[in-house]
Chains A and B, each alone.
Chain A
Amino acid sequence: MKLAEPFTTAWSRAGSTLLRRLFLDRQAAFWLSELDPVRSLTGVRAEVVGVIDETADTKTFLLRPNARWRPHRAGQHTVLEVEIDGVRERRCYSIASAPGQAPMAITVKRVPGGRVSSWLHERARPGLVVGLDRPAGDFVLPTPHPGTLLLLSGGSGITPVMSMLRDLAARDAVDDVVFVHHARSRAGVIFGDELAALAARHRGLRLVIRLDDSVDGPPGFDEARLADTVPDFANRSTYLCGPPAMMERVDAMWTAAGASHRLASERFQPAPRLTALAGDGHPVPVALTRSGRELVVDGDGSLLDQLERAGERPPSGCRMGICHTCTCRKTAGTVQNLITGEVSSAPDEEIQLCISAPRSELQLEL
Chain B
Amino acid sequence: MTITRPLTREQADAFGRELDALRRSVADDLGERDVAHIRRIVRAAHRSEAAGRVLLHVGIGPLSFALGTSALALSKILENMEIGHNVMHGQYDWTGDPELASKRYEWDIVCTGDDWRHSHNFEHHTFTNVLGKDRDIGYMLLRVTPEQPWKPFHLPQPIAAAALALFFQWGVGLHDLRLDELASGKQSPRQLARRARPFLRKAAWQLFKDYGFFPALALANAPRVALGNLLANGARNLWTFAVIFCGHFPEGVTVYDPRETESESRGQWYLRQLNGSANIEGGRWFHIMTGHLSHQIEHHLFPDIPAARYPEMAPKVREICARYGQSYCTGSFARQLGSVARRIARLSLPGPARATRRHPIADPLGERRQEAISSASTCAPGVGRPPRTGAAPSEEPRGLPRRGNRAARHGT
Contact = CB atoms under 8 A, between A and B. Distances in A.
Interface of A: 21-23, 26-27, 29-31, 34, 83, 85-89, 313-320, 322-325, 327, 339-340, 350
B96 A317 contact: no
Contacts of B269: 320
> Interface of chain A, helix or strand or loop or mixed?
loop
Given A86-B30, A314-B405, A316-B405, A324 B89 contact: yes
Given A317-B401, A318-B404, A27 B46 contact: yes
B90 A327 contact: yes
Contacts of A313: 405, 407-408
Given A86-B33, A327-B93, A327-B102, 7 more contacts: A86-B30, A317-B404, A323-B126, A324-B102, A324-B121, A325-B117, A350-B93
B304 interface: yes
A325 B118 contact: yes
A337 B14 CA distance: 20
B139 interface: no
B323 interface: no
Contacts of B401: 316-319
A88 B95 contact: yes
B95 A317 contact: no
B34 A22 contact: no
B213 A22 contact: yes
B406 A315 contact: yes
Interface in B23-67: 24, 30-36, 42-43, 46, 49-50
Contacts of B99: 26, 29
B266 interface: yes
Nearest to B301: A322
B48 to A, nearest CB: 12
Interface in B96-120: 96-97, 99, 102-103, 106, 108, 117-118
A88 B93 CA distance: 11
Given A21-B209, A86-B30, A319-B401, A324 B108 contact: no
B258 interface: no
B125 interface: yes
Nearest to B91: A324
Contacts of B49: 27
Contact of A86 (B43, B95, B209): B95
26 contacts: A23-B106, A23-B209, A26-B99, A30-B42, A83-B35, A86-B30, A86-B35, A86-B36, A313-B408, A314-B407, A317-B126, A318-B122, A318-B126, A320-B126, A322-B121, A322-B303, A322-B304, A323-B126, A324-B89, A324-B90, A325-B118, A327-B93, A327-B103, A339-B20, A340-B24, A350-B93
B286 interface: no
Given A322-B304, A339-B20, A88 B96 contact: yes
B205 interface: yes
Contacts, number: 102
- 6 pairs of A and B residues whose beta carbons are closest in the complex: A317-B122, A88-B96, A324-B90, A317-B404, A86-B35, A85-B31
Contact of B121 (A21, A317, A350): A317
A22 B49 CA distance: 13
B108 A23 contact: yes
B153 interface: no
B405 A315 contact: yes
B31 A322 contact: no
A34 B366 CA distance: 58
A310 B102 CA distance: 28
Nearest to B108: A23
Contacts of B266: 320
A31 B46 contact: yes
Interface string B68-97: 000000000000000000000110011111
Contact of B404 (A31, A87, A316): A316
A30 B46 contact: yes
A197 B96 CA distance: 43
Contacts of B32: 85-86
Contacts of B50: 27, 31
Nearest to A350: B93
B34 A86 contact: yes
A316 B117 CA distance: 11
A324 B94 contact: no
A325 B35 contact: no
A27 B30 CA distance: 27
